A = this chain, B = another copy of it.
């Protein structure tokens, strides 16, 4: 079998954590599974480990393909692999599916052993801090005392940042990409429209749709359509779709007329078949709640007082979901604490999605930073 992907075939693994997890919400989770993948080899001193945290709809499958599905390429395959910016010839890279997700780690679709049924609406809301706490358990299991780096884009960047606050000794470098130190009212507003679309779907059944053998498909579809608008820039949508008509002419009806409608509905439909609505809800809540400065009188510099890691912060010019201004806030607060931070605002027309793309300048900067991490 020939595999064209440079990382090749990968296999997810699973660890069962029996150490109870005290969540920020007050709920105690007795035990849980974390599904993860690794790429490259852990060196003898365990000094070359990189943790990559995923964003809203991501998962542990970062690079490579699966033996039973050679087309299922990891979401950051252009960044992670042999000779790629995050070079698996040098680093041992770990991707983990977040707690509460729907790709193998314990979440709303998992069976609650206490009831023998899926958690559904009973699965607790988790926070970025909770994710970090659970990821520490994975690190302990793998015998990694300190990560060479923790990296992530968007919500993934928030996790990398949180690691440096909660476990400053365990992260040498944090790569915080297209992220923000907190959501704006507008960010929260978009999330709430998405949540309301799901929750008011007749097939949501208060979150216990599994028992009804149905899915809040329409709500999740709308949430994803809306999300996509915020991931792209006005300019990239104009360049890619403009006002192009699917059939070349207006039909005076409510079917697909403009190409942009076709694209969004397709993305919505695809996502609704693949992602769990309860997971989507709790991931958006984790985003809304993230605000490390809130415990420090909204003073981000004060919140960073214990940070010891070095930072690479990157933003993209056309990103209006988490604009460069939000990254600059992080950089300024790090500088207030005399933290070693590299920052760049990368010119890209692709909006928030830029962090997933193979932009040359972006990859050069990532490579330069990663090449210079000592292991």
Contact = CB atoms under 8 A, between A and B. Distances in A.
B237 A192 contact: no
Contacts of A26: 252
Interface stretch (A8-16, A108-116, A179-187): A179-187
A189 B234 CA distance: 10
A185 B222 contact: no
A169 interface: no
- Most B CB contacts (10 A, CB to CB) among A229, A232, A259 go to A229
B196 A222 contact: yes
Given A124-B252, A125-B253, A200-B222, A243 B185 contact: yes
Contacts of A25: 252
Interface stretch (A42-50, A260-268, A305-313, A352-360): A260-268
B229 A188 contact: no
B188 A260 contact: yes
Contacts of A170: none
A84 to B, nearest CB: 32
A345 interface: no
Contacts of A261: 188-189, 192
Given A196-B225, A197-B222, A226-B226, A125 B189 contact: no
Interface size class of A (residues with CB under 8 A): 35 or more
Interface string A148-184: 0000000000000000000000000000000000111
Interface string A233-244: 010011011110
A209 interface: no
B254 A281 contact: yes
A207 B237 CA distance: 30
Contacts of A285: 252, 254
A188 B250 CA distance: 14
Contact of A238 (B185, B257, B294): B185
A60 interface: no
A201 to B, nearest CB: 8
Given A185-B243, A243-B188, A253-B125, A288 B193 contact: no
User: Which interface residue of A199, A234, A240, A259 has the most chain B CB atoms within 10 A?
Assistant: A234
A369 interface: no
A79 to B, nearest CB: 27
Tell which of A125, A199, A254, A281 has the most Cβ of chain B within 10 Å: A254
8 contacts: A184-B234, A184-B237, A184-B243, A185-B243, A189-B228, A189-B261, A199-B254, A200-B221
Contacts of A242: 185
Interface in A196-250: 196-197, 199-200, 202, 218, 221-222, 225-226, 228-229, 232, 234, 237-238, 240-243, 250
A237 B186 contact: yes
